[in-house]
Structure 1
Amino acid sequence: MDQERNEAPKSDGSESLLTVIIAFAMNVLIAVAKSAAAVLTGSASMVAEAVHSWADSGNEVFLLIAERRGGLGRDRAHPFGHGRETYIWSMFAAFGLFAVGAAVSVMHGITSLRDPEPDANYLVGYIVLAISFVLEGVSFLQSVRQAHAGGRRLSMHPLRFVSRTSNSTLRAVFFEDAAALTGLLIAAAGMALHEITGNAVYDAVGSILVGLLLGVIAIFLIQRNSQFLLGQPAMPVTRGTMLRFLLEHPDIDRVTYLHVEYVGPVQYYLVAAVDIRGDMREHDVAVLLRRIEAEIEQQDIIVEAVLTLSTADEPSLQR
């Protein structure tokens, strides 16, 4: 079962925290620069980008809390630990991205369509966008590196890995940074078309497009976090590894039922129906089941394991 740590080794906890800290620091710097540029240029796209960066900065605070709270261990009030808190705080971050980043950007763009901004200092805007692109790229490369490492361990494409991983903070930073880089290109195009044509509509449309992009990303993140909160089954490779572990156990003859679901980032709740080898007394079977459960829970990725007995007519699961 050791290979199941491949989704996110223990070192990835600190790596995820580092990813969020880098993203937070970069977003604060970028938000200040964009806000100053928005005042100087009057660009609707730049205003949308400034709002986007401030929203991202606030979201990183939620993600930092998610990392802190989700790492708390089990206690009497929380027998499965606090892992699902990661998805609660990540959900707050996604709602913030939607309400602040997406909604405000779209509304500002619509307002700018009605009352176009005059020409302004485009050079300042381009410089700030270029600097922001470099800083956002630094943050994005950190999350890309982590996604590549996780995907390589599970033989998955990095984009597929980051979409399916139970590490909600990595997913949030990855997609928010990707949206930020795309948004910068949209803002630059809107400003350039405004400058070339003298028509402020392009700049306003750029703001709306940035808002719609953030809305799509936010909805995706909200959906994924809600799936993990409701009970996301483990990846097939994870379930297969745990089934193989049970079938290879010297005291287990058959496994007829197996359910594995996430209760936090790379933390699982396992329920299985097994057929014990031999013909033991009821008391001895109960003791053996508890012992096997304890063996399974020694794996740091298993928060809770519950085993019950199979009936004779139930078909055995295959590896």
Structure 2
Amino acid sequence: MAPRSAVLLATRNVLYVSIAGDLIVAAIKVGAAAYTGGSAMWSEAVHSLVDSSNSILLLYGVHRAKRTPDQEHPFGYGREIYFWSFVVAVQVFALGAGVALVEGVTHVLHPTPIAFAEVNYIVLGLSALFDGATWLIALRGFRRGAGDSDLFQAMRASKDPPSFMVVFEDSAALIGLVIALVGSYLSIRLDLPILDGVASILISLVLALTAVFLARETKGLLIGESADPAIVMSLLRIAREMEGVAHANGILTVHLAPRQIAVALSLEFSDELQTPALEIKVSELEQRLRALHPEVIAVFVKPQTALGYAEAVERRRGKTRQIVFHTPSPPGPA
């Protein structure tokens, strides 16, 4: 199986497990919330329902991104993943955090005691078991691609939102369960039903912070982020080492999907290369780049002098450069 297909299959499997786990947990929480009347439990039920719908949206995005390029989308549909990931972030904020906040404020204004507290604790324990299992599976899947780097930094650097969104959402779910457990216990122990509503508000805050982080990360990918610096340097090194390349001026890269990169190179070729030989060199360079980095799906090479490249960079950055040509002064009168 090709590496890209294997990674996609692993991502889909994690999403399938996440959907199944979230739906089971959501059903348990909804039943418990209706039975006990706990505000934090209602917030957690909504949280699990939102998480399950989010995984479905991510799975749909992965499916849509597999479509082949066509005339209207010559680079394919890879960015569908980034679009649906951003929709997920918005949904976490609007539905998850919004509903939990409304439920919490309502319960603070009109507090009612939790009935059948034992049921609450049992359900929270079962939810932690299911959410913890899906979190562990998602974490292991993400770790395989992230290596030994710091988890949070790996999420920031990742170009594959579904892989880290499930980990982040399940982490928020576990934090929410702890808040719900503490809020429920204190509201019963201290006979202060208002604390159950406070817990629901805190859960909404956790969801809001999760949504902000996810939106920030996916927005950058949706707009267009460059490849990892190590990949960029590797691509530039391959171009510099090509016979016939006098100077590699610069490189532009952009992710079209988690494992799809478009590359534009500015190269100054040796003066003795004629057009047929130049075409062969460009084709050979493209083969070398793709052999070492299979995620490169498009390569554009612009023959250009170093001076021409510097002028183009400044124009792209909104600057103009005035070039003064110095000519020798005419000789004075004899």
TM over 0.5: yes
Residue 123 (structure 1) aligned with residue 104 (structure 2): no
- Residues of 2 paired with 1:23 and 1:95: CA distance? 19
Distance 1:314 1:103, change over 3 A: same
- Residues of 1 paired with 2:143 and 2:244: CA distance? 39
Query: Which amino acid is the alignment partner of residue 269 of structure 2?
Result: I
Residue 309 (structure 1) aligned with residue 299 (structure 2): no
Deviation at 1:252, TM superposition (A): 2.6
- Residues of 2 paired with 1:93 and 1:71: CA distance? 19
* 1:78 aligned partner: 73
Identity within the alignment, %: 28
Q: Deviations over 1:64-104 (max 9, x none)?
A: 10111122232332221111000111111111111111100
Tell me which moved more, 254-263 or 280-289: 280-289
The 5 Å alignment of 1:184-223 reads: 184-223=177-216
- Residues of 2 paired with 1:309 and 1:230: CA distance? 27
Residue 68 (structure 1) aligned with residue 76 (structure 2): no
Deviation at 1:42, TM superposition (A): 0.8
19, 23, 28: which one aligns with 1:28: 23
Q: Deviations over 1:184-241 (max 9, x none)?
A: 0000000000111010121101100111111111111112111111111112112122
Residue 273 (structure 1) aligned with residue 263 (structure 2): no
- Residues of 2 paired with 1:144 and 1:46: CA distance? 25
- Residues of 2 paired with 1:262 and 1:13: CA distance? 16
* 2:96 aligned partner: 101
- Residues of 1 paired with 2:126 and 2:157: CA distance? 32
- Residues of 1 paired with 2:294 and 2:114: CA distance? 60
Deviation at 1:282, TM superposition (A): 4.1
Deviation at 1:138, TM superposition (A): 1.0
- Residues of 2 paired with 1:109 and 1:312: CA distance? 62
* 2:169 aligned partner: 176
CA contact (8 A) 1:254 1:275 kept: yes
Provide the alpha-carbon RMSD of the alignment.
2.1
* 1:159 aligned partner: 152
CA contact (8 A) 2:165 2:214 kept: yes
* 1:262 aligned partner: 255
TM-score, structure 2 length as denominator? 0.86
Tell me which moved more, 123-132 or 280-289: 280-289
Distance 1:150 1:294, change over 3 A: closer
- Residues of 1 paired with 2:243 and 2:276: CA distance? 19
Paired residue secondary structure (2:140):
helix
CA contact (8 A) 2:113 2:188 kept: no
Structure with larger Rg: 2
- The aligned length equals 308
Distance 1:283 1:265, change over 3 A: same
Tell me which moved more, 98-107 or 88-97: 88-97
- Residues of 1 paired with 2:211 and 2:243: CA distance? 48
* 1:300 aligned partner: 294
Paired residue secondary structure (2:119):
helix
Residue 111 (structure 1) aligned with residue 88 (structure 2): no
TM-score, structure 1 length as denominator? 0.90
- Residues of 1 paired with 2:303 and 2:157: CA distance? 32
Deviation at 1:260, TM superposition (A): 1.1
Paired residue secondary structure (1:116):
coil
CA contact (8 A) 2:239 2:285 kept: no
- Residues of 2 paired with 1:76 and 1:291: CA distance? 27
Query: Which amino acid is the alignment partner of residue 138 of structure 2?
Result: S
* 1:57 aligned partner: 52
- Residues of 2 paired with 1:283 and 1:172: CA distance? 48
> Where does structure 1 differ by over 3 angstroms across 4 or more consecutive aligned residues?
290-300, 312-316
Query: Which amino acid is the alignment partner of residue 30 of structure 1?
Result: V
Tell me which moved more, 285-294 or 261-270: 285-294
* 1:252 aligned partner: 245
